[in-house]
Amino acid sequence: MPEGMETYDAAKVSIIVDGLNYFGFSDGDMVNCSKDSNNAEFKSDAQGNASAAVNNDSLGTIKIDLAQTSPCYKHIVGLANSKKTFPIRIVDGNHVIGGLRAIVEKLPDAGYGKGVGTRSATIKVMDYSDKFN
């Protein structure tokens, strides 16, 4: 029997990049996570006979939206410029997304205007996992 609906609290979500717990996000979503590939690939011939192949691709993408005023923005720019790999974890209670081998795919775009801008960092995770503990 499924349990009742839980209450979401953004303040209880931890975004940990290279050991640093990030804060200072832009308005809206703080982070978006996605696996890059399907778990399986399927083919069907003209007579309807289907076959499947397990896809072992473990790449994933995590996009973090920081406010341009966030102290963590300097950290992510430093990681991007160093081109080093690092661990990343998104933790919401017992739900953990991330991996041990991540790299900043591209420096965040920088815009300047009337208000505080958003700096979106796209991080490629080479051993992406999404699981409940």
Structure tokens at 77: 């720019």
Write the pLDDT tens digit of every residue in 79-121. Answer: 999 999 999 999 999 999 999 999 999 999 999 999 999 999 9
pLDDT band at 1 (very low <50, low <70, confident <90, very high): low
Q: What predicted TM-score, i.e. pTM, was given to this entire model?
A: 0.93
Is CATH 2.40.30 the right assignment for the domain spanning 10-132?
Answer: yes
31 in Cβ contact with 14 (< 8 Å) = no
CA angle 81, 37, 5 (to 5 degrees): 95
Q: Is the pLDDT of residue 3 over 70?
A: yes
User: Residue ranges of the domains in the chain?
Assistant: 10-132
pLDDT of amino acid 6: 86
Q: Concatenate the DSSP letters of all residues of 52-73 into one string.
A: EEE-----EEEEEEEETT-HHH
Cα–Cα distances (Å) from 35 to 11, 80, 126, in that order, read 24, 21, 10
| pLDDT tens figures, 38-80 | 999 999 999 999 999 999 999 999 999 999 999 999 999 999 9
